[in-house]
């Protein structure tokens, strides 16, 4: 299958998926999510694939978030349905029968950080930067970030990152277990592929069971994600959200009025 924004490389026992929108720093729009959904359905039918590496095109960004241009055109009251496909993808990845390894080759912001968090492991280049900048748009992370980030880095660090919107570097991400390993710039996919190849030799039924069992330790996430969705929906109807996205696109600082 040929995708507009996904590149798929097949290595027999594992595949490398590249989100390919470098002109927008690989931001996640609805077409990317639709293509990821088709891809996941295809992989479900392919017994040969035992692990997936996911990365972003170029060397500047893994994924710089949800597509803010698209965000800007969400009609009043439609934020929840807009979010639903992305949330479905994040949940499908998290609960997939084979592991996803994120090869983080630059910025992993907002939806990009949330995508990395939905993956089972994360390998980051030395230049990688992580953050949840949604607060700067007058919203909150809407793809499960409030729940998955907190589960991974703990409440204090999650609060700091989500409330300040500031980025952390790869070293700090390692310190807070946000990444499994830091590798030299340009080797992220290779190092993730080495790990994928290793996992691909393991017993498939055991791998599937391990993912289920480990995920069970965070089984309350679903309620948190539903609450996050409701809160996102209300925030998406505010003037502050309109101002935040408009200011980003106009490359200026937003002025929030709390309305
Ligand atoms: N959605 C849509 N377009 C995006 C994007 C996003 N999330 N992130 C970056 N882009 C686009 C920029 O608009 C720019 O497009 P242009 O060349 O047509 O102007 C291009 O990608 C390059 O980004 P730019 O901002 O010029 O690069 P930079 O090196 O100055 O800054 C970032 C890099 C990642 C710090 C900055 O792009 C950024 O803050 N992005 C948004 C992150 C964000 O808020 N994500 C959460 C969204 S919910």
| Active site (annotated) includes residue 94 | no
- State whether the beta carbon of 109 lies less than 6 angstroms from ligand 1: yes
Distance CA 68, CA 258 (A): 20
Question: What beta strand segments (E) does 79-131 contain?
Answer: 100-104, 107-109, 121-125, 129-131
- pTM, to two decimals: 0.96
% the chain with pLDDT above 70 = 100
Whether the CB-CB separation of 46 and 94 falls below 8 Å is answered with no
Nearest to 54 by CA among 94, 87, 82, 84: 94
Q: Examine the pLDDT at 111 and tell me if it is beyond 90.
A: yes
- Least trusted range by pLDDT, from 68-72, 132-136, 205-209, 233-237: 68-72
Q: What is the arithmetic mean of pLDDT over 20-44?
A: 97
Ligand 1 center–CA 251 separation, angstroms: 10
- State whether the beta carbon of 69 lies less than 6 angstroms from ligand 1: yes
Work out the pLDDT band at 227, boundaries 50, 70, 90: very high
- Measured in whole angstroms, how far is the alpha carbon of residue 17 from the centre of its chain? 13
Contacts with 140 (C-beta within 8 Å, 6 or more apart), sequence order: 134, 146, 162, 228, 231, 232, 235
Ligand 1 center–CA 24 separation, angstroms: 6
Work out the pLDDT band at 256, boundaries 50, 70, 90: very high
| Active site (annotated) includes residue 160 | no
Q: What is the arithmetic mean of pLDDT over 156-160?
A: 98
- State whether the beta carbon of 63 lies less than 6 angstroms from ligand 1: no
Q: What angle is formed at CA 22 by the lines to CA 45 and CA 4, rounded to 5 degrees?
A: 40
- State whether the beta carbon of 235 lies less than 6 angstroms from ligand 1: no
- What is the per-residue pLDDT for 218? 83
Q: Examine the pLDDT at 225 and tell me if it is beyond 80.
A: yes
Task: Give the three-state DSSP class for 100.
Answer: strand
Tokens 């204090």 appear where?
156
């Amino acid at each position: 299958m040929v995708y507009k924004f996904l590149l798929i490389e097949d290595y027999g026992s594992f595949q490398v998926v590249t989100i390919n929108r470098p002109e927008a720093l690989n931001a996640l729009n609805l077409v990317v999510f639709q293509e990821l959904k088709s891809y996941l359905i295809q992989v479900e039918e392919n017994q040969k694939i035992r692990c997936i590496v996911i990365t972003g095109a170029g060397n500047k960004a893994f994924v710089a978030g949800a597509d803010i241009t698209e965000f800007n055109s969400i009609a009043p009251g439609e934020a929840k349905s807009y979010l639903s496909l992305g949330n479905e993808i994040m949940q499908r990845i998290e609960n997939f029968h084979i592991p996803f390894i994120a090869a983080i080759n630059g910025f992993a912001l907002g939806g990009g950080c949330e995508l990395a968090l939905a993956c089972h492991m994360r390998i980051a280049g030395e230049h990688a930067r992580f953050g949840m900048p949604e607060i700067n748009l007058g919203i909150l992370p809407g793809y499960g970030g409030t729940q998955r980030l907190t589960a991974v880095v703990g409440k204090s660090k999650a609060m700091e990152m989500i409330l300040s919107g500031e980025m952390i570097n790869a070293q700090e991400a390692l310190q807070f277990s946000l990444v499994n390993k830091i590798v030299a710039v340009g080797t992220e996919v290779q190092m993730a592929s080495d790990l994928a190849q290793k996992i691909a030799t393991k017993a498939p039924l055991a791998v599937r069971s391990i993912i289920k069992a480990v995920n069970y330790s965070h089984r309350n996430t679903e309620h948190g994600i539903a609450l996050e969705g409701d809160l996102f929906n209300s925030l998406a109807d505010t003037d502050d959200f309109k101002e935040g996205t408009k200011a980003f696109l106009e490359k200026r600082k937003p002025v929030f009025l709390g309305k």
